[in-house]
Chain A
Amino acid sequence: MATRKTPETEAQTGANVSKEELLEYYREMLLIRRFEEKAGQLYGMGLIGGFCHLYIGQEAVVVGIEAATKEGDKRITSYRDHGHMLACGMDPKGVMAELTGREGGYSKGKGGSMHMFSKEKHFYGGHGIVGAQVPLGAGLAFSDKYKGNDNVTFAYFGDGAANQGQVYETYNMAELWDLPVIFVIENNQYAMGTSVKRSTKSQTLFGRGVAYGIPGEQVDGMDVLAVKAAAQKAVAHCRAGKGPYILEVMTYRYRGHSMSDPAKYRSREEVQKMRDERDAIEHVRDLLLTGGHATDDDLKAIDKDIKAVVNEAAEFAKESPEPALSELWTDIYA
């Protein structure tokens, strides 16, 4: 049932992957990274307030997962949610304007970095209580099964949330009722400042699903092709009505837990090593260049395009007005 990915699979070498596909992943991952860098900059300028959790380093997870979805599939995640929104096609302008707390944001400025939603893109938030999105995600899957369609829901959570009791309550019911939900554990090694080793003696997190009869596997989350291949397998399992599946995606966040994290729980060298040796964007860049799919100039042109998109989003987020004061009293009741 449980398998561990061996390195150098076909997926990881990029064989049989089209140029268009690789370029698409490159673009999407780069958009997330540049967007997050810009968000960090706007936070530093005081344009974004409160808590702001950046996704830099983890881009291959959402881009790989989204590559296995179809229209109608749902996704829900925690407060580190900007990457998920961009990957499912939400408008960078609307996301950035929510970060700045403006009228043009996805929640009209009333949600903030941690609380954004899009009915149109089937993105169900943006939740700030660690682990709470997991039963909510199973509930979304419940609604699809109840209606009798073949949609699946991706419920993302981190290695920290993996120790919350409600996650296991949900595993139990998801398997009991064969809910079409894929639990995506984004194991970025640190729950705020507590490493996985300091929080559990479990060898793996996906392995805990065995107790409930849920199959799962560990995936190299710094390799978008490996993530996509694993996601396709999980999706096939779910759509066939076989119940939930767990993907433990091994990833790494380069930045702090939030903007106000002095990062004393890990060494600078550890972070630099991941950046130098395992960066997901550099990986695809190498595949594109060595495979003869693109030249340096082609990729520079993409970089420029992405920068323009992000700058446009930042400009929009600065220009969009604050919500009208009357908005304080709206959307409390439907």
Chain B
Amino acid sequence: MATEILMPALSPTMEEGTLSKWLVKEGDDVKSGQIIAEIETDKATMEFEAVDEGTVGKILIPEGTSGVKVNTPIAVLVEEGESADDIKAPAPAAADAPKAEAAPAPAEAAAPVEIVSKASPDWPEGTPMKTITVREALREAMAEEMRADENVFLMGEEVAEYQGAYKISQGLLDEFGAKRVIDTPITEQGFTGIAVGAAFGGLRPIVEFMTFNFAMQAIDQIINSAAKTLYMSGGQMGAPMVFRGPNGAAARVGAQHSQDYAAWYASIPGLKVVMPYSASDAKGLLKTAIRDNNPVIFLENEILYGRSFEVPDLPDFTIPFGKARIWREGADVTLVSWGISVGHALEAADKLAALGISAEVIDLRTLRPIDYDTVLASVQKTNRAVIVEEGFPVGSLASYMASVIMERAFDYLDAPVLALTGKDVPMPYAANLEKLALITSDEIVEAVRKVTYR
């Protein structure tokens, strides 16, 4: 049977090209893999190999022809006993793929619609409470989950024998042994890749970064390998694991150790992102993160590690993702924050109360997914919003949240939504400059006075 040789596409973008040279002539025998022509694309001259074997029956497009469209028949191969004259008119080019049914993208509700907050108490009234630090809360969460599931293990620099650079993993080596509490060499990209591979293999790793600043060495493995594999595999396999460690500025550790990565990770589909403020949230959310079947970025804060909070004294206490916490109810303005900035917002709310302004303080707690409903319900009540974020201003979560409020609650707003962030500078070392670079409760007070016109 005669076979048509079609003008090939030789790059992802090629639509037509020049048939610059034939390396065979009519009557020649052609073997599979033999180079039969040179074709010039917009980028380069490429060799064109035969796929099928046979004799060149007819050359349909002479060399030197330009503007030959992809899939145009350029020659015909015939088998023994066939003649080129038997060849019929060129067959149509490759058929288009069968088309799939159109499905609409998920629709966003248009304003104004009364939105109901999802916020609700995290534990029943009358639950016995205990006071522990954020550090102890994180340790309890890991220990409880490691007791419950032997596939959970902890890996990182100085997590075992040193007992943790920030003592989060203190005592875990003694309880769980060196098989499950693993000291790594200083090799973030390598051990992160190994942990992601272990998750593909059915384990549930917890990777501790000494700080998230060091995770930049490993960010390819976090995003390209951990976050995207479930999608790329059509749902066959993913990475159930937790990446945790301190994030953001500590105190006078300079530019390379002081960045807040919340907005970076929160922009990635396939990741979940958690940034707790209190000890109860640290514990309840870390337990949820370890049980989650997806890669979870868990952003802690060194300054918060030693702070004490009340935590419910329950044997198995978890907090679901995607549920904000209302720390303080108010009527005049909504302050939205997460992580250490919640502390600044609460401090600002006290100062504002002294000025006669009642601020509602919302802690998002998880940044992917985000509980928009609780924020929007609050804005519908207060009609004003200030968002407070530790990180840089450009591409911030605060500006994204401001746009969501504008889009979904525009008719409720009595003032522009303000996004307050860290300053647009690398973190300086000098004490006075560092203070200036970070967000303060006084700046929040100023912003609120602006939007309340008081």
Contact A172 B187 (CB under 8 A): yes
Partner of B193 from the list A46, A116, A139 (CB cut-off 8 Å) is A139
Tell me, yes or no, whether B120 is within 8 Å of chain A by CB: no
If A169-B189, A321-B98 touch, whether A108 touches B234 (CB-CB below 8 Å) is: yes
Interface residue count on the A side (C-beta < 8 Å): 85
Tell me, yes or no, whether A294 is within 8 Å of chain B by CB: no
Contact A46 B94 (CB under 8 A): yes
B240 surroundings in chain A (CB, below 8 A): 334
B233-276 with Cβ < 8 A to chain A: 233-238, 240, 269-270, 272
CA distance in complex: A140, B8 (Å): 40
B311 surroundings in chain A (CB, below 8 A): none
A138 surroundings in chain B (CB, below 8 A): 193-194, 197
Tell me, yes or no, whether B101 is within 8 Å of chain A by CB: yes
**Which B residue sits closest to A112, measured CB to CB?**
B232
Tell me, yes or no, whether B153 is within 8 Å of chain A by CB: yes
Tell me, yes or no, whether B221 is within 8 Å of chain A by CB: yes
State the Cβ distance, A100 to closest chain B Cβ, in Å: 7
Which of B95, B100, B179 has most chain A Cβ within 10 Å? Answer: B100
If A139-B194, A319-B98 touch, whether A332 touches B201 (CB-CB below 8 Å) is: no
Partner of B51 from the list A41, A117, A132, A170 (CB cut-off 8 Å) is A41
Which of A43, A111, A169 has most chain B Cβ within 10 Å? Answer: A169
Contact A170 B190 (CB under 8 A): yes
Partner of B153 from the list A74, A124, A146, A323 (CB cut-off 8 Å) is A146
If A135-B190, A325-B101 touch, whether A268 touches B202 (CB-CB below 8 Å) is: no
Interface residue count on the B side (C-beta < 8 Å): 73
Contact B190 A173 (CB under 8 A): yes
B407 surroundings in chain A (CB, below 8 A): none
Contact A333 B197 (CB under 8 A): no
Contact B103 A324 (CB under 8 A): yes
CA distance in complex: A262, B44 (Å): 6
Chain A 129-147: CB-based contact to B (< 8 A → 1; otherwise 0) = 1001011111111111011
Partner of A125 from the list B46, B51, B229 (CB cut-off 8 Å) is B229
**Which A residue sits closest to B223, measured CB to CB?**
A129
Contact A117 B236 (CB under 8 A): yes
B221 surroundings in chain A (CB, below 8 A): 132, 135-136
Contact B43 A321 (CB under 8 A): no
One of B9-17, B138-146, B279-287, B370-378 contacting the partner: B9-17
Tell me, yes or no, whether B168 is within 8 Å of chain A by CB: no
CA distance in complex: A106, B203 (Å): 23
Chain A 45-61: CB-based contact to B (< 8 A → 1; otherwise 0) = 11101110000100000
Q: Which of A's residues lie within 8 Å of B, judged by CB?
A: 37-38, 40-41, 43-47, 49-51, 56, 74, 76, 100-103, 105-111, 115-119, 124-129, 132, 134-144, 146-147, 165-166, 169-170, 172-173, 176, 254-256, 259-264, 268, 275, 318-326, 328-334
Task: Given A256-B46, A262-B43, A275-B33, output 5 extra A-B contacts at Cβ < 8 Å.
Answer: A44-B70, A109-B234, A136-B200, A139-B194, A142-B201
Give 13 pairs: A residue, B residue, CB < 8 Å, sorted on A. Answer: A38-B51, A46-B94, A110-B234, A128-B224, A137-B197, A141-B197, A146-B203, A173-B184, A173-B191, A254-B33, A323-B100, A332-B231, A334-B240
